[in-house]
Structure 1
Amino acid sequence: MALFEIDESSGLPVWVQLRNRFVYLIKTGHYQPGDQLPSVRTLAAEAAINYNTVSKVYVNLESDGYVESVRGRGVFVRDIGGKADDVRSIADTEIEGCIRRCLALGMTIDEVTLRMMDVAHRLKDEKS
């Protein structure tokens, strides 16, 4: 699976999808403070995204404090301190809410687990 995939069927603009992916990768530790992000040209070519779209994402990430652009050197991840668990926490809250709603429908926890796995596999297959 590629690190950056664009979902053409998503209602989100390409630049928002890419920005959200970078934020996720930074917050979960895939990119560590000091790591250099791919150059705009490289990422645009590899992900088949317009150069200006990638540039817009990097500018947005910098204005939000996730990265720092160093003229002539590239774009580097900043230390965002303590935000690594934010994404997991939000995801856990969403998943817990979904599970509770399924339990309220009369499903067992094992049935919910199986359904979630089926849905996750279906979504994975759609991406392939």
Structure 2
Amino acid sequence: MNTMMILKGLGFAALGIGLFMLATYVVMRLWNWLVPALFNGPRLRFVQALGLFLLARLLFGFGGFQHGGHVHGGSRGSGPHGHSHHGYGRHWHQSDWQKQFVDPKADKRSSLTSPQR
């Protein structure tokens, strides 16, 4: 391996760890600023804020990735809001669980909540 690639990898790892620690510090400062004053809650130490930050990331996700690793938004693509068109028609963004409840023989303009006759 090239020494420069190893140093580059170590630099990116250090940058990632530094940004993660900075985000944890911001969570701690925001918590200690707002929660004790508004809700009479406890103040957090850095390690507690780290645990809270990790728990929130596990529960709510690690960022803007869709199924298949595509990033939400951005400036790529030719469609509205930066999304490219993949031939899915008007409802290309409709989730899979919604698609299983739609009757293909039903009127395409009816909503999912309207009763089917």
TM value normalised by structure 1? 0.30
Identify, as 1 or 2, the structure richer in strand.
1
Query: TM-score with structure 2 length normalisation?
Result: 0.33
Larger radius of gyration: 2
